[in-house]
């Protein structure tokens, strides 16, 4: 029996979507779906919900929970990763509250920035443990990574883990719709091309019936910016740099040095930036899960409709050899020629029985490549810190982050990193 292993199966709603999709996919019938999580209660909830969907859908997949990670992985053909190391409390709270003491404010803190750096540093050792297990018990498996920080973790699994890994993010899938919704345009029949790095990939081409839509998009965007709305940062970046970016405005507000500034507090109001957004979401999700849990776990008639998540479509394409196109995070083997080869990039990829085949993009417009490199600098120095154990590289990563370096002095950056290292305690490996 072929196996799909899901690491972080206690992410119950996400597991329901991705694995529910898999159970509705004809090519994945008779697979074992192996669930693993370090939280036994959430693991049991996910198993119960997925078994209900198996019954109501008539799927012939087998659902099984494991308390031994290596056994969950043993013989797997596909491994789906959705872990979060340290969770909301204590780690996410720490990532926000200590920088706040230095006057450094954040919105999401899960990609780059000081929060992204420390999320990486506590997650990379766990990912490399996964890689060791995978190389021992399922060395040919494809690793489908949904965990942030996407670019760094996907890079580490490919470069240092020796595991066939593709990183999957929703931002490419919803990019065009998000833009057209905020501008009141219809995206039916629109063609697009997107490439860059995760959370900062660019809508390079957008057309309909052979007509370039960017002139009309920019005309509408200039008018839309005269009133407050939820996507003001992205429209501002597009009007200044020429192209729309994939990830949301609350994310991009902290990827650049222009929007969250202590000396210009009016920018927060002007661009409608939701500071401390991720902690608010975490609290909301914790509360909503208490209500949602009973309705899911106790519903013996629970059904599922296939979602837009990439995972089941990727596995289906590999099983059937029917090609499927994704926006995937992969190593930059000359795909984007004006970004570093050691970086992880997000580009169109073709999936079939040969695996994931990225497409060549060439040069990005120079201003876009320059913006990407500002974030790649921090990503690569974070990896250096993780694989060498050298504390200096943590400082380097933080000093090179655009938002952090625009707000704090070198001395404050170093002091803040030291405070974060101490506060995280055993959630981090030891650095020298």
DSSP state of 426: G
How many structural domains are present in the chain? 1
Has residue 104 been placed in a domain? yes
Which CATH number does the domain housing residue 335 bear? 3.90.1820.10
> Which pairs from 142-145 meet CB under 8 Å and 24+ separation?
142/77, 142/78, 142/79, 142/166, 142/314, 142/318, 142/355, 142/356, 143/79, 143/81, 144/78, 144/79, 144/80, 144/81, 144/168, 144/310, 144/311, 144/314, 145/81, 145/329
Question: Helices in 271-390 by DSSP H: which ranges?
Answer: 277-297, 310-320, 366-388
Residue 61 belongs to a domain: no
Cβ atoms < 10 Å from Cβ of 191: 12
Q: Name the phi and psi angles at 144, rounded to 5.
A: -100, 105
Q: Is 243 exposed, middle or buried (0-12, 13-18, 19+ CB in 10 A)?
A: buried
d(CA 379, CA 374): 9
User: 158 among the known binding-site residues?
Assistant: no
Please list, in sequence order, all residues whose beta carbon lies within 8 angstroms of the beta carbon of residue 134, skipping any fewer than 6 positions away: 73, 76, 79, 141, 143, 161, 163
Three-class secondary structure of residue 353 per DSSP: coil
Q: Which domain holds residue 199?
A: 84-275+309-432
Closest CA to 241 of 366, 336, 377, 337: 366
Give me the chain's average pLDDT, please.
Answer: 98
Q: How many CA atoms lie within 13 A of 217 on its CB side?
A: 28
pLDDT of residue 252: 98
Confirm whether residue 251 is marked as ligand binding: no
- What is residue 5's three-state secondary structure? strand
pLDDT in tens, 335-387: 999 999 999 999 999 999 999 999 999 999 999 999 999 999 999 999 999 99
Q: Is the pLDDT of residue 397 over 90?
A: yes
Q: Which of 170, 256, 304, 308 is catalytic?
A: 170
Residue 389 in tokens: 């154990």
20-32 per-position pLDDT tens digit: 999 999 999 999 9
Contact 324, 352 (CB under 8 A): yes
pTM of the complete model beyond 0.95: yes
Instruction: Flag whether 189 is in a domain.
Output: yes
Which of the four pLDDT bands, split at 50, 70 and 90, describes residue 1? confident
What is the per-residue burial (b if ≥16 Cβ within 10 Å, else e) of 74-103?
Answer: bebbbbbbbbbbbeeeebbebbbebbeebe
The 8-class DSSP code of residue 427 comes to G
Helix axes 113-137, 366-388, angle to 10 degrees: 60
329 found inside a domain? yes
Say how far apart CA 78 and CA 28 lie, in whole Å. Answer: 11
Phi/psi region, residue 8 (left: phi>0; alpha: psi -120 to 50; beta: rest), is left
Asked if the structure places residue 252 within a domain, the reply is yes
Residue 6 domain-assigned?
no
The pLDDT tens digits for 158-171 are 999 999 999 999 99
Structural tokens at position 154: 């996907």
The mean pLDDT of 380-396, rounded to a whole number, is 98
**What is the CB neighbour count within 10 angstroms for residue 254?**
30
Determine whether the annotation assigns residue 396 to a binding site.
Answer: no
Residue 365 located in a structural domain: yes
Contact 332, 344 (CB under 8 A): yes
Give catalytic status of residue 396 as yes or no.
no
Q: What percentage of the chain has pLDDT greater than the value 90? A: 99
Residue 103 lies in a domain: yes
pLDDT in tens, 125-181: 999 999 999 999 999 999 999 999 999 999 999 999 999 999 999 999 999 999 999
């Amino acid at each position: 029996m072929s196996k799909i292993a899901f690491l972080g199966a206690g992410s119950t709603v996400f597991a329901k979507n991705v694995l529910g999709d898999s159970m509705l996919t004809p090519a994945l019938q008779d697979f074992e779906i192996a669930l693993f999580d370090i939280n036994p209660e959430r693991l049991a909830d996910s198993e119960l919900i997925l078994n209900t969907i198996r019954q109501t859908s008539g799927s012939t997949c087998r659902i099984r929970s494991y308390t031994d990670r290596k056994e969950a992985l043993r013989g797997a053909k596909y491994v789906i990763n959705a872990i979060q190391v340290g969770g909301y409390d204590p780690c996410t709270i720490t990532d926000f509250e200590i920088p706040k003491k230095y006057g450094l404010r954040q919105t999401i803190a899960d990609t780059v920035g000081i929060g992204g750096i420390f999320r990486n540093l506590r997650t990379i050792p766990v990912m490399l443990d996964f890689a060791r297990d995978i190389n021992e018990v399922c060395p040919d498996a494809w690793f489908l990574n949904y965990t942030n920080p996407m670019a760094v973790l996907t890079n580490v699994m490919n470069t240092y883990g020796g595991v066939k890994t593709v990183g999957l993010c929703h931002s490419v899938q919803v990019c065009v719709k998000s833009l057209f919704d905020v501008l009141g345009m219809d995206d039916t029949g629109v063609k697009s091309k997107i490439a860059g790095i995760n959370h900062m990939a660019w809508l390079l081409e957008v057309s309909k019936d052979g007509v370039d839509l960017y002139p009309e998009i920019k005309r509408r965007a200039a008018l839309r910016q005269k009133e407050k709305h939820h996507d003001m940062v992205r429209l501002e970046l597009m009007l200044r740099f020429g192209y729309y970016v994939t990830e949301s405005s609350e994310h991009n507000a902290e990827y650049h040095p222009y929007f969250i500034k202590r000396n210009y507090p009016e920018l927060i109001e002007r661009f409608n930036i939701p500071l401390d957004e991720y902690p608010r979401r975490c609290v909301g999700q914790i509360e909503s899960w208490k209500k949602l849990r009973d309705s899911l776990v106790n519903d013996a008639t629970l059904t599922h409709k296939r979602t837009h998540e990439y995972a089941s479509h990727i596995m289906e394409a590999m099983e059937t050899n029917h090609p499927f196109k994704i926006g995937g995070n992969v190593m930059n083997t000359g795909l984007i020629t004006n970004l570093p080869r050691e970086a992880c990039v997000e580009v169109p990829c073709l999936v079939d029985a040969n695996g994931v085949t990225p497409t060549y993009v060439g040069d990005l417009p120079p201003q876009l490549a320059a913006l990407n490199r500002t974030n790649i600098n921090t990503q690569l120095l974070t990896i250096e810190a993780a694989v060498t154990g050298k504390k200096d590289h943590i400082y380097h990563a933080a000093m090179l982050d655009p938002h952090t370096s625009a707000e704090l002095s070198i001395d404050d950056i170093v002091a803040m990193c030291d405070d974060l290292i101490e506060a995280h305690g055993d959630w981090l490996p030891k650095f020298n």
